[in-house]
C-alpha cells in the first residue's frame, strides 16, 4: 500500500438539500481555488482522574465533530458562492444576458435565514475522509492590490467518516479574480452607493464571523451534533487609507456616529453574459465606525485604519445591512 501523501490531499463537495441537512450526498464539485482543511476531531475527551492517583482512570469521548479551515490565495468569481450560500443565505441565481447568473445574498436582520450545508470529501485515491452537515460559520474577504482577493474562514461539520471512496468530481468554471479588478467606494447615502471611489485605500477587509453554532441535545441516536443555530455574527468592514485629508476626514464621521455606505467591488474584464455583463463580486454594506487604528505605515505611506460595524438601515433597499452580488456562469450549487 502506498504512503498517504499530503501532496494529493484534495477537496470536493456536494450541496445537501435544505430540507435534509446532514443527509450525505455525492461530492461532485472539485474545489480549485478554495481549500477546506479539516480537523478530524474538534470535540473534547473527558478524562477522569480519581483522588489519590497521578494518572487518569478513564476517558469518555464527548463532542464528536469536525472543524474546517477555509483559505484561498486567489479569489474565484465562481467558487465564492459556496461559502456565501452556507454563511449568509441559500439563494437561487437569476439569469442575465442568456449565460450570466447573478447570485444575490441579502441576509435578513430579524429572522433566521435558511442556509446551505455540504457533504465535503478530502483526501486522495489512497485514503480519504468525508463529513456531512458542513456549515460555514465565518468568512473574511480581503481586497489588496498586491494579492488581489483572498479569503479565509471557518466551518463545522459532523463526525468524520474514514477510508471512504472519493466520488467522481469535476471542476467548476475557471474564473479568477485579479488585483486589477478591485475598487473601494464609500458614500454618505444609500442611493449613491458606489459613486465615490476611494483612491488611496491600501487594504479592505469584509468579515462575517461566528454566525452559527452546533446544538447538542441529549439523544443517543445522534452520533454528532443534531442541528445548527444562527448566532449574532461579527459583521465588519475594515479599510486602511492614507492619512491625508481624505482618510483623516472620516474622523468627523466617527465623532458624529454617521452611517457610511461602503462598496467593495471586483469586476472582471471578461463577460459572463452574452453581451456586456461581467464576472463580478460586489459587497454593499451600511456601517458606523467603531474603531480607529493608526497611524501606521503601508508601503512607505502613513495610513489610518477604520473599522465599520455593519448597521441595519430600515430605509435602504426595504431594510438591510448587507447585500452581496456575485455574477458568474454557475447555474446551481
Distance of alpha carbon 186 from alpha carbon 284, whole angstroms: 10
Distance of alpha carbon 139 from alpha carbon 220, whole angstroms: 33
Does residue 181 lie within any of the structural domains?
Answer: yes
Does residue 122 lie within any of the structural domains?
Answer: yes
pLDDT tier at 238 (50, 70, 90 boundaries)? very high
> Percentage of residues in the chain with pLDDT exceeding 70?
100
Question: Which domain range does residue 222 map to?
Answer: 7-44+63-328
pLDDT of residue 317: 87
Predicted structure pTM score: 0.95
pLDDT tier at 92 (50, 70, 90 boundaries)? very high
Does the structure show a pLDDT above 90 at 318?
no
Does residue 54 lie within any of the structural domains?
Answer: no
What are the pLDDT digits (tens) for 49-91? 999 999 999 999 999 999 999 999 999 999 999 999 999 999 9
Does the structure show a pLDDT above 90 at 1?
no
Does residue 202 lie within any of the structural domains?
Answer: yes
Mean pLDDT across the stretch 269-298? 97
Does residue 55 lie within any of the structural domains?
Answer: no
Mean pLDDT across the stretch 189-212? 97
Secondary structure (DSSP) of 62-117: ----EEEEEEESS-BTTTTHHHHHHHT----PEEETTTEEEEEE---SSSPPP---
Q: Dihedral of the CA atoms 31, 76, 200, 185 (nearest 10)? A: -120
Q: Dihedral of the CA atoms 195, 199, 203, 207 (nearest 10)? A: -10
pLDDT tier at 33 (50, 70, 90 boundaries)? very high
pLDDT tier at 243 (50, 70, 90 boundaries)? very high
Residues 6+ apart with CB under 8 A from 145: 179, 182, 202
pLDDT of residue 184: 98
Q: Which three cell numbers stand for residue 99?
A: 449565460
Number of structural domains (the chain) is: 1
Does residue 221 lie within any of the structural domains?
Answer: yes
Does residue 240 lie within any of the structural domains?
Answer: yes
Amino acid at each position: 500500500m502506498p504512503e498517504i501523501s499530503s501532496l494529493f490531499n484534495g477537496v470536493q463537495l456536494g450541496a445537501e438539500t435544505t430540507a435534509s441537512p446532514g443527509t450525505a450526498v455525492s461530492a461532485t464539485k472539485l474545489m480549485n481555488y478554495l481549500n477546506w482543511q479539516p480537523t478530524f476531531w474538534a470535540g473534547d475527551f473527558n478524562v477522569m482522574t480519581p483522588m489519590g492517583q497521578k494518572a487518569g482512570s478513564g476517558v469518555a469521548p464527548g463532542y464528536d465533530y469536525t472543524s474546517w479551515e477555509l483559505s484561498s490565495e486567489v479569489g474565484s468569481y465562481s467558487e465564492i458562492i459556496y461559502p456565501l450560500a452556507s454563511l449568509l443565505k441559500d439563494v437561487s441565481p437569476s439569469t442575465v444576458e442568456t449565460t450570466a447568473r447573478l447570485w444575490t445574498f441579502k441576509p435578513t436582520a430579524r429572522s433566521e435565514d435558511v442556509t446551505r450545508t455540504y457533504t465535503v470529501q478530502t483526501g486522495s485515491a489512497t485514503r480519504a475522509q468525508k463529513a456531512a452537515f458542513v456549515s460555514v460559520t465565518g468568512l473574511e474577504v480581503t481586497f489588496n492590490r498586491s494579492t488581489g482577493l483572498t479569503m479565509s474562514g471557518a466551518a463545522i461539520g459532523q463526525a468524520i467518516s474514514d477510508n471512504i471512496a472519493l466520488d467522481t468530481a469535476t471542476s467548476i468554471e475557471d474564473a479568477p479574480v485579479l488585483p486589477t479588478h478591485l475598487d473601494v467606494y464609500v458614500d454618505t447615502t444609500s442611493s449613491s452607493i458606489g459613486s465615490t471611489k476611494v483612491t488611496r485605500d491600501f487594504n479592505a477587509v469584509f468579515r462575517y464571523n461566528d454566525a452559527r453554532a452546533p446544538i447538542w441535545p441529549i439523544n443517543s441516536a445522534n452520533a454528532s451534533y443534531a442541528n445548527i443555530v444562527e448566532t449574532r455574527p461579527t459583521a465588519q468592514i475594515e479599510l486602511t487609507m492614507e492619512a491625508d485629508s481624505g482618510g483623516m476626514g472620516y474622523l468627523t464621521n466617527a465623532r458624529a456616529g454617521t452611517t457610511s455606505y461602503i462598496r467593495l467591488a471586483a469586476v472582471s474584464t471578461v463577460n459572463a453574459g452574452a453581451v456586456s455583463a461581467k464576472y463580478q463580486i460586489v459587497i454593499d454594506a451600511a456601517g458606523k465606525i467603531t474603531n480607529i487604528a493608526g497611524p501606521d505605515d503601508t508601503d512607505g505611506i502613513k495610513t489610518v485604519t477604520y473599522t465599520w460595524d455593519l448597521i441595519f438601515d430600515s430605509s435602504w433597499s426595504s431594510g438591510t445591512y448587507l447585500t452581496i452580488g456575485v455574477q458568474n456562469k454557475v447555474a446551481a450549487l
